[in-house]
Amino acid sequence: FPTRRSSDLLLSAFTLLMAACENPDTGNGNNKPPQMTFNIIVENITTAGADVTVVPSDETALYYFDKVTKAEYDGYKGDNAAFMKAMIENLRAFCKESGNSLASAVSVGEDFHSYNGDLIPGTEYYIFAFALDAKLNPNSNLTLEAFTTEEVQASTNTFHVSVNGGEITVTPSNNDPYFWDMMPTEECQGVSDSDLMNELVSYYQQMGFLDYYIVNGVDS
């Protein structure tokens, strides 16, 4: 979940949201959802990133926004109520398990987030947004904004790998940046090259180590 900027309104609502995280109301509430709408602006789209600005019609109401792949959203078969409920359940689980501040995952007023290296190239996404009540239940209709990340321009780089005792040396054919590491062969069996590369990139991004493993030229 993105870490977003804080505001006085957001901090003032934090106590209510922490109580809601500890004692969630699984219902949808009895109040009629307000007619809250969102203007979602997606800019600077790259192969793995995009800048997102969300402008709500109500500058004082709590809301939640994030990204989802079109394929993931389509799995709900147009049931927006079920989708919003699932996103909130995920958020509650994240709050409980990570110990991160819930205030960093919800918004009040205009907000901005840069997805930098968080996206998959050539993939259809939605930015979604919906209002929340004080008990962290969906409290408006769902707003979606579609975009597609750019395709990767494949490098022509090829690699020669040599092993000398405990030393591994990778020699590339050009100076394009590349990633390399080692893993047990059984972990690669039955996994396509594309899936394996995506899983590795996602894992190293989550661990915060990806930049360390990207190199140029001969590396040992």
Mean per-residue pLDDT, 2-25: 48
pLDDT tens sequence across 55-83: 999 999 999 999 999 999 999 999 999 99
Q: Is the pLDDT of residue 29 over 50?
A: no
Q: Which residues, in sequence order, are CB contacts of 73 under 8 Å at separation 6+?
A: 83, 126, 128, 144
Q: Across the chain, what does the average pLDDT equal?
A: 85
Q: What is the pTM of this model?
A: 0.67
**154, 157, 158, 162 alpha-carbon torsion, rounded to 10°:** -130
- Between 206 and 55, residue with greater pLDDT: 55
Q: Which of 10-14, 98-102, 157-161, 190-194 has the lowest mean pLDDT?
A: 10-14
Confidence of residue 218 (pLDDT cuts 50, 70, 90): very high
Q: Report how far residue 197's alpha carbon sits from residue 62's, in angstroms, rounded to the nearest whole number.
A: 38
pLDDT tens sequence across 85-142: 999 999 888 877 877 777 778 999 999 999 987 888 899 999 999 999 988 899 999 9
Note every long-range contact of 80-84, with CB atoms under 8 Å and residues 24 or more positions apart, other chains counting.
Answer: 80/141, 80/142, 81/28, 81/138, 83/128, 83/142, 84/130, 84/138, 84/142
Please state, for a pLDDT cut of 70, what percent of the chain lies above it.
Answer: 85
Q: Is the pLDDT of residue 216 over 90?
A: yes
pLDDT tens sequence across 155-177: 899 999 999 999 999 999 999 99
Q: Which residues, in sequence order, are CB contacts of 114 under 8 Å at separation 6+?
A: 49, 50, 51, 52
79: left (phi over 0), alpha (psi -120 to 50) or beta: beta
Q: Which of 6-15, 27-36, 92-101, 128-137 has the lowest mean pLDDT?
A: 6-15
Q: pLDDT value at position 19?
A: 46
Q: Which of 14-18, 36-40, 91-95, 102-106 has the lowest mean pLDDT?
A: 14-18
Give the CA distances from residue 196 to residues 6, 18, 164, 183, 190, in Å, rounded to whole numbers and listed in that order: 37, 38, 26, 11, 10
CB 152 within 8 A of CB 47: yes
CB 36 within 8 A of CB 63: yes
